[in-house]
Amino acid sequence: MASSTVTEQDVRHLRRAVELAGNARGSTSPNPLVGAVIVKDGRTIGEGFHARAGEPHAERIALGACEEDPAGATLYVSLEPCCHEGRTPPCTDAIVAAGIGRVVVASDDPTEKAAGRGLGILRDEGIAVEVMDGEIAEAARLLNQPFRKHAHTGRPLVIFKSAMTLDGKVATRSGDSQWISGESSRARAHRWRAECDAVAVGIHTATQDDPLLTARIEGVDRQPRRVVFDSEASLPLDSQLVTSAAEVPVILVCSRAAKRTATDALRNAGVEVIVTTGENEAARVCSALDELGARDVQSLLLEGGPHLAGVFLEAGEIDEARMFVAPLFAGGREARAAIEGEGVERIDDAVRAVDVDVERIDDDVLITARLREW
């Protein structure tokens, strides 16, 4: 912990703040997930979380929910309070005006407009400030990985999702892949779509499966933008993606090799076209991520196929992998693996996850592997 004055009660209240923040998963982008708890004389007198962009921040919600005067109370917040004027007023102003005596923060805000400034303002106003480290700080950071990566790099967090057989195949030799994972696993994947800013596939997947790439579950606040990596801009105009572009945005990522007639036709059909630069596919993926980040895409669910996944891996742009393993064997030398490309020559050069979690979902096993932390 950051200070000897931090107690186990502080950790408990911060855990509650992090728990509250998670209630708005998928609804706040491009803002972070934030939860807040206000405690006075050992009792929680107010709590809240930031529900969606443009609405009041967690600190103001918690202050508004207070059952009594919060003067002298301790504010527990999962992320450093903001001190800048955006779509809502600075939270530091509200904290000072309420007479809060102490603020305990689980994690920093890495954005240039924040990065410790809010905490400095609070200290200048005579408010005691504690910044946590350890497990609760990590939990708070992990909650906002998309926000944090975007702040550090300008690019979205890339989550690679795939479903494979026990022998590592994502499709048979004929290309059939529906359905490897079970119904519950597919429902989980739809929830991930709802939580991400965008979902991406390659042109082979787009033409082979003709997917909608929408989140088709109950309680979805917004649909992700659909992104197709298609170097020659060959996405059919009668595909489900193009014909639904007016309802849910579609972004096509192509190279300079794409014909002007093809890109113009897609734009006229309502598709946004991004022309990437770079000497190879990996460089063009990085260029695309820069462009997507500039459009406030902070999280990208990469759903395939194997060629595109291989390019992202070679570009060093897979931050997390979520792999469903089904109790099936497909066999076949020509059946496709989850990730293709050149690969490494030695196991010592393989990308190693920094953290792994395993979960049983009906007959499937979900392996979540985090490759880096932001």
Positions marked catalytic: 59
Residue labelled with tokens 């479903």:
163
Label each residue of the chain as H, E or C.
CCCCCCCHHHHHHHHHHHHHHHHHCCCCCCCCCCEEEEEECCEEEEEEECCCCCCCCHHHHHHHCCCCCCCCCEEEECCCCCCCCCCCCCHHHHHHHHCCCEEEECCCCCCCCCCCHHHHHHHHCCCEEEECCCHHHHHHHHHCHHHHHHHHHCCCEEEEEEEECCCCEEECCCCCCCCCCCHHHHHHHHHHHHHCCEEEEEHHHHHHHCCCCCCCCCCCCCCCEEEEECCCCCCCCCCHHHHCCCCCCEEEEECCCCCHHHHHHHHHCCCEEEECCCCCHHHHHHHHHHHHHHCCCCEEEECCCHHHHHHHHHCCCCCEEEEEECCCCCCCCCCEECCCCCCCCCHHHCCCCCEEEEEEECCEEEEEEECCCC
Phi, psi dihedrals of residue 44, rounded to the nearest 5°: -75, 120
**For residue 111, which of 86, 136, 132, 134 has the smallest C-alpha distance?**
86
Q: Measure the CA–CA gap between 104 and 37, rounded to whole angstroms.
A: 10
Residue labelled with tokens 């000897």:
4
Q: Measure the CA–CA gap between 254 and 246, rounded to whole angstroms.
A: 20
Q: Measure the CA–CA gap between 240 and 242, rounded to whole angstroms.
A: 6
Using alpha carbons, list the distances in angstroms from residue 1 to 10, 47, 262: 11, 23, 57
